[in-house]
Amino acid sequence: MVTVWRSIVRKGDTVVDATCGNGNDTFAMIKMVADERDKEYKVESAIASTFSFLKMAVNSHELELVKLFTICHSRMEEVVPKDFPVRLVPFNLGYLPGGDKSMITVAKTTELALQAASRIVSSGGLISVLVYIGHLGERDELDVVESFASSLPMKTWMSCKFEMMNRPFEMIDQWLHFENLG
């Protein structure tokens, strides 16, 4: 996924990490965008894990660029300034790898978050979704993501799906990318 992100994101871009996780994606995005103007907004509840990782992994200037918000990812529009065109909004859906598997993303808020992301992503920007299969409600969430992708207008969005083929079904991860052509 990061390779695809690098083809879209440039220094100074604004990116939104919709689901935080352990901080690895945030770290990769900071390295892609870090300069004097950039901002990264994070809007999920795995904040403590992400912040701890980033304090050790990035320099103080890079850390200052990150704005952390402990809110549901469906509310990202409330914290991202309207005058900041967003270039990338990645989601890792399911559970926090290595974390409490009872804490999961859910279809209802994911659907709202994808809708919000589609409104803030600039032309040429990307919504990137990784769906972890193997938890309660994963099929509902995958169905919501695929339905959302299928409903995006062809003239302004390109939706792609990538699926792991050499894993058992219960371990399948699916990557979906939605590029704003508008």
Residue 123 CA from chain centroid, whole number: 17
Tell me, what's the pLDDT at 89? 95
Q: Which residue has the tokens 């992301």?
A: 117
Residue of 82, 76, 62, 91 lying closest to 122 (CA atoms): 82
Total domains, the chain: 1
Containing structural domain, residue 137? 1-180
Quote the pTM value: 0.81
- What are the pLDDT tens digits along the chain (182 aa)? 788 899 999 988 888 988 877 778 888 888 888 875 556 655 454 566 677 777 778 788 777 777 777 778 899 999 888 888 899 999 988 876 677 777 788 899 999 999 999 999 999 999 999 888 777 777 898 999 999 999 999 999 999 988 777 766 555 566 777 788 87
CATH number, residue 42: 3.40.50.150
State how far the alpha carbon of 45 is from the alpha carbons of 20, 64, 95, 157, 165, in Å: 7, 19, 11, 29, 31
